[in-house]
Structure 1
Amino acid sequence: MHDNQPRTSTQDTLPELITRYLNAHRAHDTATAITAFTREATVIDDGNTYRGTEAIREWLDRSSTEFTYTIRLTGAQQTDANHYIATHHLEGNFPGGTIDLRYQFTLRDGLIERLVIEP
């Protein structure tokens, strides 16, 4: 029986690159997190677009200090060979206090080319 549904997985089945990025981001390790992106990568977060590693580095630095929060992976799926979604539950001192966010990764040549973060 074949189905074309996205494959749901756990963090264990996310590519090592995405796991490394998520762990570095969680640990506020910008130096390691930035190595996961292509030089021309794009990040879209909270309606803002960051293009290129310098803009992404500034976003990582700012996002790690702007609010205090916990982040927990609640689901992961691979939608095709180069696309993954990691769903996280965040709790902290940001407006609203809790949110579930989908981190949508597009990979190219073993690196993150695009990351969209949205509810």
Structure 2
Amino acid sequence: MHDNQSRTSTQDTLPEVITRYLNAHRAHDTAGAITAFTREATVIDDGHTYEGAEAIGEWLDRSATEFSYTIHLTGAQQTDATRYIATHHLEGDFPGGTVDLRYQFTLHDGLIERLVIEP
């Protein structure tokens, strides 16, 4: 019984829209990933801000082709009614070779309104 309460590191913690985005992103499916965002969504990654579906689509395309890497979900938690954090471990041919990143999601009407990715 207590086991279920301590399961913070599984995708079960995350809403369907976030797992849909993460799975599509992992599969380099930009069209599928974009459907998880609101039209006016904002993504902040590596100090750069991308606003709106078109800019986010370009960011997704670029991040899918710029480096080769594996990504594993290592933790997931809900921080309030609309905010979730998914921690990922990445390994690949990018500078440094490995990194742990926190994907901080804010939802609005069942879609991702804001995503901040940072170490």
Distance, in Å, in 2 between the alignment partners of 1:47 and 1:9 is: 26
Asked whether the equivalents of residues 9 and 78 of structure 1 are also in contact (C-alpha less than 8 Å), the reply is: no
Q: Which residue of 1 aligns with 2:102?
A: 102
Could you tell me which runs of 5 or more consecutive residues in structure 2 were left unpaired when the two chains were aligned: 1-6
Q: Percent identity?
A: 88
Cα RMSD (Å) of the superposition? 1.0
More strand by share: 1
Does the residue aligned with 2:79 lie in a helix, a strand or coil? strand
* TM-score, normalised with respect to structure 2: 0.93
1:61-81: per-residue Cα shift (whole Å, max 9, x none)? 000000000000000000011
Aligned to 1:10: 10
CA distance in 2 between partners of 1:8 and 1:79 (Å): 11
- Matched residues, number: 113
Structure 1 runs (4+) deviating above 4 angstroms are: none
Offset at 1:12? 1.4
| Unmatched tracts of structure 1, length 5 or more | 1-6
